[in-house]
Amino acid sequence: MSYEQKMMAMKKMLKKAAPPSPKQARKPSAPPYVKQWQQAGLDVIENDFGVCFVRECFYPNDYEHGDATLGDFHRAVQQTASLAHPLVPTQPVMFFDTETTGLKGVGTQIFLLGELAVEPSGFRLKQYVQADPANEAAMLYASSMWQGQEAVVSYNGKSFDWPQLTTRFTMHREQLPLLPERTQIDLLHATRRIWKEDVTSMKLTAIEQQKLGFYRQGDIPGFLAPIIYADAVKSGNPETLLKVLMHNEWDLLSLVTLYAKALDLLALQLKESARTYTNIGKWYGDVKARETSRAVLTRVTEHYDVTETHAAHYALGFHHKRIGAYERARDDFLKALPQLKEVERLRAHEQLAMLYEHQLGDVASALAHCEAGLRIIEASTRLQQATKARRLAQWHKRKLRLLSKHPQKDADT
């Protein structure tokens, strides 16, 4: 059976198992393969809404995952407690990841819900597995998601996993408690901020290999998980499904070491590229921690080769201009210029033209940067014609104003 045929078969199965209306609500029966799944290492949970399976294990703090140990997380949280940054946790956290039967739509169910709880001596993993589509409410109720108050740490969970979970609880709102709002810490967003232009992909598996030193062996591709679950329910054989649980487990363990490394980087505790620390410096600036931002960016310019510091100098130019350090702002923009790409190069020339005209009183230099900006716009193949025409008009207006202040240049031209 092809991939598409299996997906269609699963959708039909889910449709048949749609949650009953409140008047028709009744406890669904357990599937016939309960003992078979128990023998494979899954425990059974029975509640008022049916049955589900759970796998539980504990990882001590000294457990190694890639280049780090899980206990590094505790140390990283302690050392960053005083930092003013949204990534620093201000309350207890738990790690969260799901596997679903699809990517969108009310027919999409969560068939595997993984929780990794933080304990003083280690991390406790609980993976709740939906027994079959008819027993969805039982799995949701068995989880701690409607009871806990910790902040939820995920990878793209704020945009995907948590909204999916909210939808599933809403579908069973006549049976289940309300799913409370929880603080979300999405490490995908943090990864983008920290390693933008410094990694080849933002997929978690790529981050594991490039930044965490973890390489998966025998992993199941995520897109196959729904098919594997459907096959396990149909055949009663959980052997391949256990590999999906391992995939989910690796995701959760990597979240712990990824979070620890991200916090270490915020505290400037690790050796990383100039690009990474420039990103961190800019992130501090975006959250209004401007003095920290300036300190981080300045450190980049002082500790890395000049060929790697243009982005830091560019960002520092705006910092120094904001606080009135105009000569330092000028120097930063000039140092950044040779390696900037078109958009930033044009903006740097604009900033320099304004600095020279309004703060430094050097009309000739302002005019030189205005003309350089005009050349960039005229040569641009990126700008659409209407945008190019508008930009040219704006820059020519600046040039005319500067020429009126610089008669000698006007005579020469």
Helix extents (H) in 174-272: 187-195, 204-207, 225-235, 241-266
Same-domain check for residues 209 and 294: no
CATH at 291: 1.25.40.10
pLDDT in tens, 388-400: 999 999 999 999 9
Domain total of the chain: 2
CATH at 40: 3.30.420.10
**pTM, rounded to two decimals:** 0.88
Q: What is the domain extent for residue 376?
A: 274-412
Same-domain check for residues 353 and 293: yes
The amino acid present at 72, given as its one-letter code, is D
What pLDDT is recorded for position 24?
A: 46
What pLDDT is recorded for position 21?
A: 46
What pLDDT is recorded for position 22?
A: 45
Residues of the chain with pLDDT under 50: 3, 20-24, 411, 413
Domain boundary among 218, 238, 266: 266
Contact 284, 296 (CB under 8 A): yes
Domain boundary among 213, 244, 266: 266
DSSP string, 106-146: TT--EEEEEEEEEETTEEEEEEEEESSGGGHHHHHHHSSTT
Same-domain check for residues 217 and 69: yes
pLDDT in tens, 213-239: 999 999 998 889 999 999 999 999 999
Helix%, strand%, coil% for the chain, nearest 5:
55, 15, 30
DSSP annotation of 195: H
What is d(CA 335, CA 354) in angstroms, rounded to the nearest whole number? Answer: 17
What is d(CA 35, CA 267) in angstroms, rounded to the nearest whole number? Answer: 50
What pLDDT is recorded for position 26?
A: 77
Backbone angles phi and psi of 89, in degrees to 5: -70, 140
What pLDDT is recorded for position 23?
A: 43
What pLDDT is recorded for position 8?
A: 53
pLDDT in tens, 3-41: 455 555 555 555 555 554 444 457 898 999 999 999 999
What region does 262 belong to: left with phi over 0, alpha with psi -120 to 50, or beta? alpha
What is d(CA 254, CA 68) in angstroms, rounded to the nearest whole number? Answer: 10
Contact 85, 279 (CB under 8 A): no
What is d(CA 348, CA 374) in angstroms, rounded to the nearest whole number? Answer: 13
